[in-house]
Amino acid sequence: MRVTEESKTLRSRFGLVATVLVWAVCAATLVSMGVYGYWLQLLRFGPLVLLAAFLMWLLFWSPSVTIGLAGVEVRNLLRRHDISWPAVEGVETKYALTIETTAGKVTAWAAPAPSRFAGLRAAGQARPVGPEFGAHGGSVVRPDAMLKDDSARIRSRDLRGLPESTFGPGGSIRPSDIPTSDSGLAALYVRRYWEELRDAGYLDSGRVEGTGVRTHWLRGEAAVLAALAAITVLCLALVR
């Protein structure tokens, strides 16, 4: 069994696009104030614009999921969770990538599940698939009632090569597990890496170190956020 040694870092694709757009607006605002000589307004509102740009980065660009040989690193707003592979007990994607561990659940902001509309659209595009695409030779379940709990038949090409733990009872699969979604792509890498290590016997042999989850506060980001917030309040209050 091959166990990949290459780490992979994932971020929300929507978050990247949204951040770039907001940064463009913020940059245009600051440049316009300088070009037209609105120096007082620039001094008063400039820190507010910078705070908005930093918050956008903190909320939508900074969050990430890194999968590597040492485990999974989940970076959220102001905290980072380091999860060792032996501590992983399961993966779910109902609302976002959520890793079930021996210390509780860790949810990744960087891997949200697709919206209800996107999930139903994916289900509507589905076509019959054969047993060869299900887990352990099982067919993917078709009942329309499955749409009520966000499960659905997915196009066969989206099922090829998915780890066996992706599939639920009867070979069912959620739209949030499709690799074309942020949650599904992150879950694919986590499950594939975890299953390869498990099947190769690394988790039980002690060859992969660590048995728990470590949480760290991102002090640098917190300090920048506090400083920008303080400067913004001072400028808004003192500059007239």
pLDDT in tens, 160-205: 666 666 666 556 677 888 888 899 999 999 998 988 888 888 777 5
C-alpha to C-alpha distance for 72 and 174, rounded to whole angstroms:
22
Q: Please give the sequence-ordered ranges of beta strands (E in DSSP) within the chain, or none if there are none.
A: 8-10, 64-68, 71-75, 79-83, 88-92, 96-101, 104-112, 213-217
- Model confidence pLDDT, tens digit, residues 104-119: 999 999 999 987 655 5
- Model confidence pLDDT, tens digit, residues 61-99: 999 999 998 899 999 999 999 999 989 989 999 899 999
C-alpha to C-alpha distance for 233 and 240, rounded to whole angstroms:
13
C-alpha to C-alpha distance for 106 and 87, rounded to whole angstroms:
12
- Model confidence pLDDT, tens digit, residues 37-70: 899 999 999 999 999 999 999 999 999 999 998 8
140, pLDDT greater than 60: no
What pLDDT is attached to residue 163?
Answer: 67
Q: How confident is the model at residue 132 (pLDDT cuts 50, 70, 90)?
A: very low
In this prediction the pTM is 0.77
